[in-house]
Amino acid sequence: MSSFDEFDAFEASSLSARAMAARPTPYLDQLNPQQRAAVEQLDGPVLMLAGAGTGKTKALTARIVHLLTTGRARPNEILSVTFTNKAAREMKTRVAGMLGQAVEGMPWLGTFHSICVKLLRRHAELVGLKSNFTILDTDDQLRLLKQLIQAAGIDEKRWPPRMLSGIIDDWKNRAITWDKVPSGDAGAYNHRGPEMYKQYQERLRELNAVDFGDLLLHMVTIFRLHPDVLEQYQRWFRFILVDEYQDTNTAQYMWLRLLAQKHRNICCVGDDDQSIYGWRGAEVGNILRFEKDFEGAAVVRLEQNYRSTPHILAAASNVIRGNTTRLGKELWTEAQEGEKVRLIGHWDGEEEARWIGEEIESMQGGTRGMRPYSLDDMAILVRASHQMRAFEDRFLTIGLPYRVIGGPRFYERMEIRDAMAYFRIVTSPDDDLAFERIVNTPKRGLGDKAQQTIQRIARAQGVSLLDGAALAIEQGEIKGKGAKALGQLVVDIARWGRMTRATVPVASDDVLDDETMPMPGRPEVTHVELAQIILDESGYTEMWQNDKTPEAPGRLENLKELVKALESFENLQGFLEHVALVMDNDSDDGGAKVSIMTLHAAKGLEFPVVFLPGWEDGLFPSQRSMDESGIQGLEEERRLAYVGITRAEEVCTISFAGNRRVFGQWQSQMPSRFIDELPEDHVEVLTPPGLYGGGMGGAPMSSTLETRAAEANVYNSPGWRRLQDRQGTRPVSQPRESRTTTIDLTAVSAYTVGDRVFHQKFGYGEVMSIEGDKLEIEFDKSGTKKVVARFIVSADDVPF
């Protein structure tokens, strides 16, 4: 890593004039005059506050290119912050594309977290940490808090760890350290919040660990308490660029302000209508107050949208108009008219997934008069990650390639977490949480008692659990089989640790010649080989090989996948850092795939074809968000709807289901209120399968239960009826006026064999046998199934 002095010696400005004249700037020709102004104004603060798809990110990227091309800055003098790792990668690719060559360096282009982790490793000692600190994920954080809560004698049922973690995260987002908790917050967590925050930070320090919030907060603390360090970085980062500025929280805001104070060359871009992280402490006020913070800021407004068709744009604009707290911006486009926004209702969530799967397949060949689309062009954006499962299941069944971005992730699986705990304890022996996780996995005869002994000794001596374990054996506090196994583990961890420090880089085939081959007698291994060695020698691989459960083969596959993933990293620590930060499972085999992700993860992205499923009240807008934050919560949900629709370039399909299984229970759903806010002129209502004579290969009209139930359930909602009226395509048999959306599933009488019954999902059937509360039913349409009596009603009680 270069020293500061090297940067000081670099006189960028003297180069600029010469470089400007010498280098072509074709990227400027791709911009409109407003964008161009924002790019060329390199000195002083610049704010681009503009709606979705107006080319903010494009202009920001062009600005980086301009800085480099004109010689105003070298790659490592530019600090550019994006919101996700995916966005950072994309920006690097775009910069390279515009420059016409690979970007060398750009070490400071990344997310707040990834940049702060690099900085904090250099200065860890200033906040009492060592530079090899571990980054805890949510799971570890909760486990740690739980221990502290138990030790403090707090009733964790009434005051759950999740509540405390929420409070602490909130403080950290607001840049409040444990010693500065405002008196107004003293009552938090039953008045124990501030004290628990302190204990938590102390424990993290002992563990040589940080959580996500600490990455930012520690850096802010360092900058505040060590002006010399701050000044170095102020000089170093001569140009600062921030995308999605509307979603910065207070800690991030302070971090940026501190860094930008000297040169004031800060360019922020964002859109108040796309602020969707209020629940995580984002302050939309940060962007609105930019002009006050940076006096004399050039403010650039962009209004032409280059992404979406007029119908899509009109739909999005109409929805967001429902929000009261916004600046209000009008967007226009020159794009061709194209498809209207499509709206479709389904019987249930699985039907919705089935339909979308079929639609995606037919869109590849071109359907309904549209051009053909590749799978890479298509994305499904969900409100809640649990919605993904239905799509994953369906797509696996029909063999439709897909990738999940964000959401329930590979690295959260049990076997992966175990394996990573092994890697963690090897790279940082103070990592007690990792030690706890693996000490008796696989079983080493070390039960609760032995583990408590280790804890006690470690506490008493003020050492890590690993050292505590060594002492426990030495002092004879743990005996017998357990002691032998534990002794072996302690020795192994130390040995693997030495091997880690001696690993050699992975050699690619073309450099693997005689010279790079390991010398005989010098057992050099790569970190990839070492990872395999750790998993094998620890007995972890064997544990799953001996496991007879159906999941075991899959887990072994995942472990293989994990070891494979290590190949693209320099060492184990780099990999662990990546996992802690990235967590988006978008490994690629290069083939085209449909993307599935949450609306939150889709921010800043664009796709020709977008599906927006699950537009049902309670799911979207989310009930929780409305319950917790009232009208503000609803407005944030509406911004999320705006983000969703504006991701689409050409085709946007919104759907909802009349029934959905939520936590194992079937629930009747109402279409989202946002559907009512879609402008009718720009929406086309599609015919769901099964209605009006079959549509997409569904059953004949009105002859199936599904059709009638769909009419009674889905199409009886006020929102839906209004839409049908507008379109003049009301279902043939008119729904009842009274809302019979719910079948009372609790009104169950005793059944006898031969009864005709109805199940909300499987339809009509006949009871074949009864076993306690489980019935075996032969369904007319779905074959024989075992179901719980609670989910059945007598056929006579069905209200249609």
Q: Which residues bind Mg ion (CB under 5 A)?
A: 56-57, 604
What is the nearest approach in angstroms of Mg ion to the Cβ of residue 267?
13
Q: Give the nearer residue to ligand ATP in terms of CB position, either 245 or 435.
A: 245
Exactly one of 38, 47, 49, 52 binds ligand ATP (CB under 6 A); which one?
Answer: 52
* Residue 31 touches which of ligand ATP, Mg ion, none (Cβ within 5-8 Å per kind): ligand ATP
Q: How far apart are CA 119 and CA 222, in angstroms?
A: 10
Exactly one of 27, 34, 35, 181 binds ligand ATP (CB under 6 A); which one?
Answer: 35
* Residue 85 touches which of Mg ion, ligand ATP, none (Cβ within 5-8 Å per kind): none
Binding track, positions 304-333, relative to ligand ATP; x by CB under 6 A: --xx--------------------------
User: CA of 410: how far to CAs of 541, 565, 575, in Å?
Assistant: 18, 11, 14
What is the nearest approach in angstroms of ligand ATP to the Cβ of residue 56?
3
Segment near ligand ATP (CB under 6 A), from 24-32, 125-133, 313-321, 774-782? 24-32
- φ/ψ of 387, rounded to 5, equals -65, -20
Q: Binding to ligand ATP by residue 32, rule CB under 6 A? A: yes
For ligand ATP (CB under 6 A), the number of binding residues is 18
Task: Kindly state the helix (H) or strand (E) to which residue 212 belongs, with its residue range.
Answer: helix 212-225
Contacts 24+ apart (CB under 8 A), 88-92: 88/114, 91/57, 91/60, 91/61, 91/64, 91/243
Closest CA to 600 of 275, 285, 308: 275
Q: How far apart are CA 667 and CA 458, in angstroms?
A: 51
Binding track, positions 272-291, relative to ligand ATP; x by CB under 6 A: --x-----------------
Q: How far apart are CA 698 and CA 376, in angstroms?
A: 28
Beta bridge partners of residue 267, listed in sequence order: 46, 241
What is the nearest approach in angstroms of ligand ATP to the Cβ of residue 86?
13
- Token pair listed for 121: 């490793």
Q: Give the nearer residue to Mg ion in terms of CB position, either 56 or 437.
A: 56
CA distance from start to end of the chain: 74
Closest CA to 12 of 67, 63, 62, 72: 72
Task: Kindly state the helix (H) or strand (E) to which residue 266 belongs, with its residue range.
Answer: strand 266-270
- Token pair listed for 601: 């993860």
Beta bridge partners of residue 683, listed in sequence order: 341
CB atoms within 10 A of CB 752: 7
Q: Binding to ligand ATP by residue 53, rule CB under 6 A? A: yes
What is the nearest approach in angstroms of Mg ion to the Cβ of residue 665?
39
372: exposed, middle or buried (Cβ count in 10 Å: 0-12, 13-18, 19+): exposed
Residues catalogued as catalytic? 56-57, 243-244, 274, 647
Q: Give the nearer residue to Mg ion in terms of CB position, either 274 or 500.
A: 274
Q: How far apart are CA 193 and CA 214, in angstroms?
A: 17
Q: Give the nearer residue to ligand ATP in terms of CB position, either 74 or 600.
A: 600
Exactly one of 54, 69, 655, 659 binds ligand ATP (CB under 6 A); which one?
Answer: 54
Closest CA to 345 of 336, 355, 335: 355
Q: Give the nearer residue to ligand ATP in terms of CB position, either 159 or 306.
A: 306
Q: Binding to ligand ATP by residue 569, rule CB under 6 A? A: no
What is the nearest approach in angstroms of Mg ion to the Cβ of residue 56?
5
What is the nearest approach in angstroms of ligand ATP to the Cβ of residue 37?
12
Sign of CA dihedral 431, 432, 433, 434: positive
Q: What Rg, from alpha-carbon coordinates, does the chain have?
A: 29
Binding track, positions 333-372, relative to ligand ATP; x by CB under 6 A: ----------------------------------------
Residues 6+ apart with CB under 8 A from 19: 69, 70, 71, 72
781: left (phi > 0), else alpha (psi -120 to 50), else beta?
alpha
Q: Binding to ligand ATP by residue 667, rule CB under 6 A? A: no
Q: How far apart are CA 325 and CA 379, in angstroms?
A: 30
Residue with tokens 């004698």: 153
- φ/ψ of 783, rounded to 5, equals 80, -170
- Residue with the closest Cβ to ligand ATP? 55
Q: Give the nearer residue to ligand ATP in terms of CB position, either 35 or 716.
A: 35
Binding track, positions 215-254, relative to ligand ATP; x by CB under 6 A: ----------------------------------------
SS3 10: coil
* Residue 54 touches which of Mg ion, ligand ATP, none (Cβ within 5-8 Å per kind): ligand ATP
Exactly one of 34, 47, 49, 56 binds ligand ATP (CB under 6 A); which one?
Answer: 56
Q: Binding to ligand ATP by residue 604, rule CB under 6 A? A: yes
What is the nearest approach in angstroms of ligand ATP to the Cβ of residue 652?
14
* Residue 271 touches which of Mg ion, ligand ATP, none (Cβ within 5-8 Å per kind): ligand ATP
What is the nearest approach in angstroms of ligand ATP to the Cβ of residue 359?
24
Closest CA to 657 of 356, 395, 368, 377: 356
* Residue 110 touches which of ligand ATP, Mg ion, none (Cβ within 5-8 Å per kind): none
Residue type, 382: V
Segment near ligand ATP (CB under 6 A), from 14-22, 49-57, 140-148, 737-745? 49-57
Segment near ligand ATP (CB under 6 A), from 54-62, 73-81, 278-286, 406-414? 54-62
Q: Give the nearer residue to ligand ATP in terms of CB position, either 81 or 458.
A: 81
DSSP structure string for 381-429:
EESSGGGHHHHHHHHHHHT--EEEESSS-GGGSHHHHHHHHHHHHHH-T
Residues 6+ apart with CB under 8 A from 522: none
* Residue 32 touches which of ligand ATP, Mg ion, none (Cβ within 5-8 Å per kind): ligand ATP
- Residue with the closest Cβ to Mg ion? 57
Binding track, positions 627-646, relative to ligand ATP; x by CB under 6 A: -------------------x
Residues 6+ apart with CB under 8 A from 596: 379, 380, 382, 388, 391, 392, 402, 403, 404, 405, 407
What is the nearest approach in angstroms of Mg ion to the Cβ of residue 59?
9
What is the nearest approach in angstroms of Mg ion to the Cβ of residue 43?
23
Q: Strands (DSSP E) along 103-203, which ranges?
A: 109-111, 134-135
Q: Give the nearer residue to ligand ATP in terms of CB position, either 307 or 527.
A: 307
* Residue 53 touches which of Mg ion, ligand ATP, none (Cβ within 5-8 Å per kind): ligand ATP
Q: Binding to ligand ATP by residue 608, rule CB under 6 A? A: no
Exactly one of 19, 31, 298, 745 binds ligand ATP (CB under 6 A); which one?
Answer: 31
User: CA of 586: how far to CAs of 251, 259, 593, 622, in Å?
Assistant: 29, 32, 11, 26
Q: Give the nearer residue to ligand ATP in terms of CB position, either 243 or 418.
A: 243
What is the nearest approach in angstroms of ligand ATP to the Cβ of residue 81?
14
Q: Give the nearer residue to Mg ion in terms of CB position, either 482 or 604.
A: 604
Exactly one of 34, 38, 39, 55 binds ligand ATP (CB under 6 A); which one?
Answer: 55
Interface residues with ligand ATP (CB under 6 A) are: 30-32, 35, 52-58, 271, 274, 306-307, 604, 606, 646
